[in-house]
């Protein structure tokens, strides 16, 4: 154990080996296990207003995905395989097993939602229920891309360019790029808080982080799509909750529930009055939705 988590009150930080990769995890609470996966450009600290409340009833684990936060940042490998959602999902399963949890509820926002989707397909025995925040399935979003989506989500097409083009351009002013990205996604004044933005900027200043983020997106546009195509007929069988921001691109571009009903058998969900980063903009509404969705966990 590394000590108390400065962002999640009552949680402790751990470095956990997932195979050859070291993953930073924050752990707190007692009860049925729940795993939280963040998105880009966040770290596990994004769950600051959600995790401590969940920890009143659950054993909560919030980790930094490989390449993000204070987790290891390996090279991308051939065809970006080391940042495939399959590799990231395997990290998450290894962390939970290290902590003694063979099966758990899974909640993922943004990139973490894509990892969670892959985890539920690759390790169905490990997932009791799945919540995805402000995403439609990756393959669906790429397949239905049009000018409006490409303009709104330009980084999906910028970050996938061959190295080192995006890495060097972002390096010219990481704070400007990060601020522009975050401000464009959030539709709630004051979100993220200055302390959260400072934390995201701390890790974004690291060239290894920026390269890893590009590799994450490169994998999403290549090897992840191959994995999705290979099991396109598979359906997630556990209950799936989809939440999205009514003011965000995903909610304004897709019939979110319909896209998930193409991937899962038991889907529910609704929009929240916010932008992309639900857990930061409207943690109260996220917690309300999760309280109902997780009500039967461990019973």
Reply yes or no on whether 227 is catalytic: no
Q: Of residues 110, 134, 224, 228, which has the active-site annotation?
A: 110
Q: Are 128 and 105 in contact (CB under 8 A)?
A: yes
Catalytic residue among 14, 38, 44, 276: 276
Hey, how many other C-beta atoms are within 10 angstroms of the C-beta on 151?
10
Closest residue by Cα to residue 45 from 79, 7, 10, 1: 7
Listed in sequence order, the residues at least 6 apart from 18 whose beta carbon sits closer than 8 Å to its beta carbon are 66, 90, 91, 92, 94, 95, 98
**Displacement of CA 3 from its chain's centroid (Å):** 24
CB 54 within 8 A of CB 80: no
284 in active site: no
Residues with active-site annotation: 110, 276
């Amino acid at each position: 154990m590394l000590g108390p988590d400065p962002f999640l009150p009552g949680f402790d930080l751990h470095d956990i080996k997932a195979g050859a990769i070291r993953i930073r995890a924050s752990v707190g609470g007692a009860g049925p296990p729940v795993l939280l996966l963040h998105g880009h450009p966040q770290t596990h600290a994004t769950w600051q207003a959600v995790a401590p409340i969940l920890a009143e009833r659950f054993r909560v684990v919030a980790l930094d995905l490989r390449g993000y936060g204070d987790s290891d940042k390996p090279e991308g490998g051939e065809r970006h395989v080391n940042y495939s959602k399959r590799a990231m999902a395997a990290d998450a399963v290894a962390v939970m097993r290290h902590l003694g949890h063979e099966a758990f509820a899974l909640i993922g926002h943004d990139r973490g939602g894509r990892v969670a989707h892959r985890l539920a397909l690759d390790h169905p025995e490990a997932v009791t229920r799945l919540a995805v925040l402000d995403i439609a399935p990756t393959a669906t979003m790429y397949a239905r891309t049009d000018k409006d989506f490409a303009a709104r989500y330009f980084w999906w097409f910028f970050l996938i360019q061959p190295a080192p083009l995006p890495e060097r351009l972002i390096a010219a002013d990481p704070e400007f790029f990060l601020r522009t990205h975050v401000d464009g996604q959030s539709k709630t004044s004051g979100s993220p808080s200055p302390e959260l933005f400072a934390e995201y900027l701390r890790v974004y200043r690291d060239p290894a982080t920026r390269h890893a983020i590009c590799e994450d997106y490169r994998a999403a546009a290549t090897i992840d799509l191959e994995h999705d195509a290979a099991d396109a007929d598979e359906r997630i069988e556990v209950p799936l909750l989809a939440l999205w921001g009514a003011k965000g691109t995903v909610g304004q571009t897709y019939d979110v529930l319909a896209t998930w009903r193409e991937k899962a058998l038991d889907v529910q969900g609704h929009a929240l009055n916010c932008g992309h980063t639900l857990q930061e903009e409207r943690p109260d509404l996220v917690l309300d939705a999760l309280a109902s969705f997780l009500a039967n966990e461990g019973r």
